[in-house]
């Protein structure tokens, strides 16, 4: 039997992954590493699938040359070495293996936890220098101590369960994960400040974004419990390392353990000179098992997609017919904007998202529309690429139940897309329509009628309906030299409350936004971009 599919493995992966592919008679596998862009471009036209790790760059020219290419597999988490947009344009599915190193990273966190508690690296160095000083390296027990986990995704949950095994109390903070999910891992939901104040150990497991850079800064280090210990096996840049050095030298913190750094390698870092710090060279995924898991997972993804079309964990493309895709695209774009809007104004963890289609849009396949609503919502709350294929999986992992409903009753519109986000005892609803089946309009926020084009930068407020609010908002924006493009004010029929949706020409400064939030009538003020 001649092979149906040809696979090029362009980076070294664990042998088990190659063997899994080669064991299937439908697949022919070539392993050729070290190819530069020109060499890969010359070779790729012969292959249906390409598997890489981080070294090989899959650029737009490479993708354009892959006339047979249907799937690209990345044996690892990041896909920054793959031009995913170019792949999407060409209809090429991209897979990665985001959970393959979860156990490995969780176990490394525990290794650092133990090393900090018992001074293991320092004691090892001392003994190798022919010293015998057991009293000098007296440590502390984990049992009965409190660990605070910041970021409660897959790795954070694995760390929590292992710490429970050590008889530790586990506090967890993640603004995008509901309390039920946290409690399933025997952890206790906590506010950020309370976690810092009460934890004997703080372990970071959140992504690095513009908002989380220096998440642990001098002020938050000072807010930590005196004698606490800090662990970072997540991302360099989450901690202000200069402020950490000061906290360690002063004795406010008893120790720290890092696997990742603001600059890698951390040559010249003051951390290297401190004896109460445990440092490792970014070993998070560096185990035999993690490499094996990544290679097997990516091989299985490639096999399943080429053989069956299954793409449940793909990074990019949905499986939608071209006809359905063409008809739903305007509504997908509307749903994505509505999802971004509700994700911006609903600041609490979301437990349920309800997507309702009314009128003509209810005749279409609702799945890509719902998926795009999730994309809009989750893109506000997660890092990494979120798209129509993986949005449902990501929502489930965040504890968000997704429901859909459709009815031909148009509710005063030819078509209406309504998205309702449910939090603990509250709901936030936004709705939009298309004018002429093309032009998106936002028509309602909760019980307030509005009319706005859902694109650009906005300031949104909930406030008491009283004279002077609009003038006060305009005054702050004027002092910031920010133009108001459009303003929409919604007033309830029987309520004393109102909303304002203001289209602005530039972002507000942090101080200006704080000034608006401090205005007595203001109940909520958020800024976002659609």
Tell me which residues are annotated as active site. Answer: 235, 264, 282
Q: CA 183 → CA 76, 170, 279, distances in Å?
A: 29, 10, 31
Which residues contact residue 325 at a Cβ distance below 8 angstroms, ignoring those fewer than 6 apart? Answer: 318, 368
- Whether the Cβ atoms of residue 313 and residue 79 lie closer than 8 Å to each other: no
Tokens standing for residue 322: 């071209």
Strand partners, 359: 415
| HSE (side-chain half, CA atoms, 13 Å) at 413 | 22
Residue 10 · residue 50 · CB < 8 Å: yes
Strand order in the sheet with 497-504: 484-491, 497-504, 457-464, 522-529
Nearest to 353 by CA among 363, 338, 365: 338
Other CB atoms within 10 Å distance of the CB of residue 425? 7
Exposed / middle / buried, residue 17 (Cβ in 10 Å: 0-12, 13-18, 19+): buried
347 three-state secondary structure: coil
How do beta strands 427-435 and 448-452 pair?
unpaired
Cα–Cα distances (Å) from 100 to 9, 77, 162, 485, in that order, read 18, 8, 18, 47
Distance of alpha carbon 248 from its chain centroid, rounded?
30
Distance of alpha carbon 294 from alpha carbon 98, whole angstroms: 9
User: Does the bond joining 399 to the residue before it have cis omega, within 30 degrees of 0?
Assistant: no
In 157-238 the beta strands, taken as DSSP E runs, fall at: 169-173, 188-189, 201-204, 228-232
428 pairs with which residues across the strands? 421
What are the tokens at 261? Answer: 């750094």
């Amino acid at each position: 039997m001649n092979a149906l599919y040809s696979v090029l493995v362009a980076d070294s992966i664990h042998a088990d992954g190659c063997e899994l592919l080669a064991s299937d008679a439908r697949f022919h596998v070539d392993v050729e590493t070290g190819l530069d862009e020109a060499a890969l471009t010359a070779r790729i036209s012969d292959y249906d699938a390409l598997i890489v790790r981080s070294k090989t760059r899959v650029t737009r020219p490479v993708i354009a040359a892959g006339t047979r290419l249907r799937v690209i597999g990345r044996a690892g988490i990041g896909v920054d070495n793959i031009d995913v947009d170019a792949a999407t344009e060409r209809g090429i599915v991209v897979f990665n293996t985001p959970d393959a190193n979860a156990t490995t990273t969780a176990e490394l966190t525990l290794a650092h936890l133990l090393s900090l508690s018992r001074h293991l690296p320092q004691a090892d160095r001392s003994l190798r220098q022919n010293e015998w000083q057991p009293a000098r390296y007296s440590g502390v027990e984990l049992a009965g101590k409190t660990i605070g986990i910041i970021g409660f995704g897959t790795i954070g949950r694995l760390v929590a369960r292992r710490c429970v095994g050590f008889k530790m109390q586990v506090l967890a903070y993640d603004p995008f994960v509901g309390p039920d999910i946290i409690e399933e891992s025997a952890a206790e939901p906590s506010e950020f400040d309370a976690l810092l104040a009460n934890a004997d150990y703080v372990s970071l497991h959140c992504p690095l974004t513009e908002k989380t850079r220096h998440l642990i800064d001098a002020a938050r280090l000072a807010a930590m419990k005196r004698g606490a210990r800090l662990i970072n096996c997540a991302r360099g840049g989450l901690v202000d390392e200069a402020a950490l050095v000061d906290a360690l030298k002063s004795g406010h913190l008893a120790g720290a353990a890092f696997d990742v750094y603001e600059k890698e390698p951390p040559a010249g870092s003051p951390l290297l000179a401190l004896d109460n710090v445990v440092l490792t060279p970014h070993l998070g995924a560096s185990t035999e098992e993690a490499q094996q898991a990544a290679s097997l997972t990516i091989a299985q993804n490639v096999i399943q997609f080429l053989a069956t079309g299954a793409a449940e964990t793909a990074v990019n493309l949905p499986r939608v017919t071209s006809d359905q895709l063409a008809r739903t695209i305007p509504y997908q774009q509307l749903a994505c904007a509505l999802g971004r809007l509700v994700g911006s104004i609903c600041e609490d963890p979301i437990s349920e998202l309800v997507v309702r289609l009314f009128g003509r849009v209810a005749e279409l396949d609702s799945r890509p529309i719902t998926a795009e609503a999730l994309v809009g919502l989750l893109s506000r709350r997660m890092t990494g690429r979120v798209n129509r294929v993986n949005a449902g999986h990501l929502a489930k992992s965040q504890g968000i139940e997704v429901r859909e409903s459709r009815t031909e009753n148009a509710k005063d519109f030819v078509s209406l897309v309504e998205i309702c986000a449910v939090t603990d005892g509250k709901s936030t609803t936004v709705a939009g329509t298309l004018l002429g089946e093309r032009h998106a309009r936002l028509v309602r926020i909760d019980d307030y009628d509005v009319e706005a084009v859902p694109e650009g930068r906005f300031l949104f407020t909930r406030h008491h309906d009283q004279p002077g609010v609009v003038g006060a908002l305009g005054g702050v924006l004027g002092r910031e030299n920010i133009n108001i493009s459009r303003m929409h004010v919604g007033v309830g029929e029987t309520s004393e409350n109102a909303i304002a949706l203001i289209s602005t020409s530039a972002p507000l400064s942090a101080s200006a936004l704080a000034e608006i939030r401090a205005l007595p009538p203001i109940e909520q003020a958020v800024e976002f971009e659609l």
